[in-house]
Structure 1
Amino acid sequence: MESSSSGGAVAEHSRRRIAYYYDANIGNYYYGVEHVMKPNRIRMAHHLILNYGMYRHLGIFRPFPATVEEMSRFHNPGYLEFLKKATPDNLNRLGGGMLKYNVGEDCPVFDGLFEFCQLSSGGSLAAAIKLNKKRADIAINWMGGLHHAKKGEASGFCYTNDIVLGILELLKYHKRVLYVDIDVHHGDGVEEAFYTTDRVMTVSFHKFGDFFPGTGDIKTTGHGIGKNFSVNVPLKSDINDQSYQSIFKPVMQRVIERFEPAAIVLQCGADSLNGDPLGRFNMTLKGHGECVRFLRSFNIPMMLLGGGGYSPNNVARCWAYETAIACNVELSNDIPSNDFMEFFGPNYKLHIEARKVENKNSQSYLNKMKQEIFENLNDLTFVPSVQMRPIPEDAFQSFNDPTLTVDMANPDIRHAPQIMDNVVAHPGEFYDAQNTAGMFRHEENYALKFPYPDHQYGF
């Protein structure tokens, strides 16, 4: 075993190459004073990840912002053009677009809206390319996971669906992709996008009933050749860790056996945690993180994405903890000193406790639901066979010259993945340090090499 500064150990046989995508600007976007969505939660998670020392186990990358062309692989060009033009200063000139594209109260227009969409989508596209090229075993984009966005409209605080874009990129190299959603809300936007295909299986565990978005009934299973390739697990309020895992593990075990995915995308919405102001579940970090641990155990290339979560301190705890699970590193329960320390009081502990409330999900209810899902899966008589065509170009197109290096690249153009794969940025606020001493060679073990002693970075 190899000791770790983060308070745990990493088994050599369990080591994975982890690519982690982050842009320091993500925390600057602001939905508004009264809005529950706080992008700064991603920055808080990032600071926890760094100060726990997990940067030693990660390849940290800043993704390219996705272009209109790249996002139009799923979204309507007219809708993207609207998002590009929309600012708080020109609301009166947007006309009927606000209503047409469902932009308003839940999905407000804020400064930098389109850039926010570009970063979220760019991170998931980059993560998919990293998995496609087999340069990582697990790719993480906590800026992503915006699962409600539709082809031509915003929904549920989501404007562009980075998940769909990432899955479309994965399908260029992988015959079958499994999408799993553990957000408290139904992953309706992703399910809708792949409702009629057998190359993507979507599985969503969510609160059902009088709850947004009101979709995700167990009988909603897909259409046409996609019949039975949409799996919905509608849950009741206050489900705890034990009950959740009693259905999550057997369902996912059967899904993987029947579908045999070549890649997995896991949306880790943290609003399914106890204490979330919008969520209705009673899960702790351990129960939530067990989903990541279980799917990781199959050794299938996997993308981890963010999603919902409206208690920023618990979101940061959750995604830091699940980054550690991806790295197979054990974290101390004592939160290390960081720039957001006051948000983790009064006990300054990593883990949260479940509430003492009645779990509305009886074991008989869960068993009955599990049986119905198994019967649907049994109707999948064979693993979908895919006739693979010539592989399309990657979302971030590469240069033709394989000898091109960072020093030779024009700083005014987008660098190719072959170049950027050799660049690892400073694990703190590294965005502004690009093309300076803050850029380092990427090594096979995904370790970070610093030009100065560690103590100058405050670790």
Structure 2
Amino acid sequence: MAKPEPIAYIWHKDYVNESDRYIPTTNRNVMVHLLIEAYGLLDNMMTVTPKKASIQDLAAFHSMDYLNFLSNPNSNRDEDSINDENDDYGLEYDCPIQDGIIEYCQRVAGGTIEAARMLNNGFCKTAIHWLGGWHHAKRSNAAGFCYVNDCVLGIIELRKKFERVLYIDLDLHHGDGVQDAFCGTNKVLTFSIHKFEPGFFPGTGSDKEIGYGKGKYYTVNVPLLDGARDDTFCDIFDKIAPTVLKKFKPGAILCQLGADGLNEDPMHSFNLTHKSQIHCIRKIQNWGIPLLILGGGGYNPANTARTWTSVTASLIGKEISEDIPEHEYFLEYGPHYELPVSQSLRKDLNTSKYIAEVVSTVENNLEQIN
């Protein structure tokens, strides 16, 4: 029997504990890690402690003006100037300036860059960094709880080894920051399945957005409506993903697996369970291409931990009990204390006609890739 390919699991104890300060979910990241640990899954992976990314590492995508402001937000400025610059850089509302924010950004980016380097150097075929996946940040702007775009930085690192990198985004929200970064190149194809409707953040992700110049048709957007269920999500992935793979032929893949489309997430949008993420990631893993997996959104901490633990177990080929093991956060999984995430009876607004129209548009665009 062939020996399983090694999987790298990126984490740092202090980083896990501190990271929950900067996202609007109490103890989510700690819960994810401790549930993975409680199931004994760490024994089946290489655990890797990443270094903090340097400012120069962050500058591979982000502007130095923005990084300098993150590093010294109150330096040599009067209050009015600080407020104006906060607004210019998107550092208000969902991305407020907080103590230690630049160190957090360096930890986020350092974890994803280290995961990419593990793949570049052939130390593993799959690398997981659940604390990464912050796909909304732009070159000089924070947005949507994302201060730096570690997805973009991970792709830049992968491009040092692999000529073509496929970015797959399965978060509820459109991966606009990543799309904007690569919409003009044919070396990176961005493929995002997400909710799209007027007024829903970030307001981008129409299937009419297809890229520019050399990157025309290398932007693939699948806009879905409220109530999307596992069967809808998996069906549309199964229809489009193989064509993306065939036409683009990537050397490596970076996949953002946001969990905010799950049923019972505060976003109240999609109606997914852990099954859709497992289905998609198994398909991707079976392609046999170096794969970097990141987290992202997910604002129901217990369901996010359930789902990413289930995905981790699936990736290493280990069956685990549906009964949540006793550990520090055991009581957060009540009242049933079980691993599966359930669907609700909410109506799926994605009709078969709507799905057929979206798939047809996307496939016609993909046919234009030489």
Instruction: Please state how far the C-alpha of 1:86 moved relative to its aligned partner.
Output: 3.2
Quick check: 1:140–1:303 contact (8 Å CA) kept in 2?
A: yes
Q: How far does the alpha carbon of each residue in 1:84-112 deviate from its partner, in whole angstroms, 9 at most, with x for none? A: 1237xx99473422111010111112222
Q: Which runs of 5+ in 2 are unaligned?
A: none
Equivalences, count? 366
1:205-354 correspondence to structure 2 within 5 Å: 205-210=193-198, 211-354=200-343
Q: Which amino acid aligns with 1:153?
A: N
Question: What is the TM-score of this pair, normalised by structure 2?
Answer: 0.95
Matching residue within 106, 110, 114 for 2:98? 110
Alpha carbons of 1:280 and 1:157: their partners in 2 closer, same or farther (altered >3 Å)?
same
Q: Do structure 1's residue 51 and structure 2's residue 41 form an aligned pair?
A: no
Matching residue within 71, 74, 86 for 1:84? 71
Counterpart of 1:72 in structure 2 is: 59
Instruction: Please state how far the C-alpha of 1:332 moved relative to its aligned partner.
Output: 1.1
C-alpha distance in 2, partners of 1:164/1:380?
Answer: 22
Quick check: 1:285–1:351 contact (8 Å CA) kept in 2?
A: yes
C-alpha distance in 2, partners of 1:278/1:138?
Answer: 30
Instruction: Please state how far the C-alpha of 1:14 moved relative to its aligned partner.
Output: 7.5
Q: Tell me, what secondary structure is at the counterpart of 2:312?
A: helix
C-alpha distance in 1, partners of 2:191/2:87?
Answer: 30
Q: Do structure 1's residue 133 and structure 2's residue 121 form an aligned pair?
A: yes
C-alpha distance in 1, partners of 2:28/2:3?
Answer: 29
Q: Which runs of 5+ in 1 are unaligned?
A: 1-11, 382-459
Matching residue within 154, 160, 164 for 2:152? 164
Alpha carbons of 1:371 and 1:14: their partners in 2 closer, same or farther (altered >3 Å)?
farther
Quick check: 1:216–1:233 contact (8 Å CA) kept in 2?
A: yes
Instruction: Please state how far the C-alpha of 1:79 moved relative to its aligned partner.
Output: 0.3
C-alpha distance in 1, partners of 2:98/2:278?
Answer: 32
Instruction: Please state how far the C-alpha of 1:70 moved relative to its aligned partner.
Output: 0.5
Quick check: 2:209–2:219 contact (8 Å CA) kept in 1?
A: yes
Q: Do structure 1's residue 27 and structure 2's residue 17 form an aligned pair?
A: yes
Q: Which amino acid aligns with 1:70?
A: D
Q: Tell me, what secondary structure is at the counterpart of 2:260?
A: helix
Counterpart of 1:99 in structure 2 is: 87
Alpha carbons of 1:20 and 1:359: their partners in 2 closer, same or farther (altered >3 Å)?
same
C-alpha distance in 1, partners of 2:78/2:6?
Answer: 45
C-alpha distance in 2, partners of 1:100/1:236?
Answer: 32
* CA RMSD between the two structures: 1.7
Matching residue within 190, 205, 209 for 2:178? 190
Quick check: 1:182–1:206 contact (8 Å CA) kept in 2?
A: yes
Alpha carbons of 1:91 and 1:21: their partners in 2 closer, same or farther (altered >3 Å)?
farther
Counterpart of 1:411 in structure 2 is: none
Identity among equivalent positions (%) equals: 39
C-alpha distance in 2, partners of 1:188/1:235?
Answer: 15
Q: Which amino acid aligns with 2:347?
A: E
C-alpha distance in 2, partners of 1:289/1:301?
Answer: 17
Q: Tell me, what secondary structure is at the counterpart of 1:108?
A: coil
Instruction: Please state how far the C-alpha of 1:37 moved relative to its aligned partner.
Output: 1.9
Q: Which amino acid aligns with 2:354?
A: Y
Question: What is the TM-score of this pair, normalised by structure 1?
Answer: 0.77
Counterpart of 2:50 in structure 1 is: 63
Counterpart of 1:18 in structure 2 is: 7
1:416-435 correspondence to structure 2 within 5 Å: none
C-alpha distance in 2, partners of 1:181/1:91?
Answer: 40
Quick check: 1:271–1:308 contact (8 Å CA) kept in 2?
A: yes
Q: Which amino acid aligns with 2:67?
A: L
Q: Tell me, what secondary structure is at the counterpart of 1:216?
A: coil
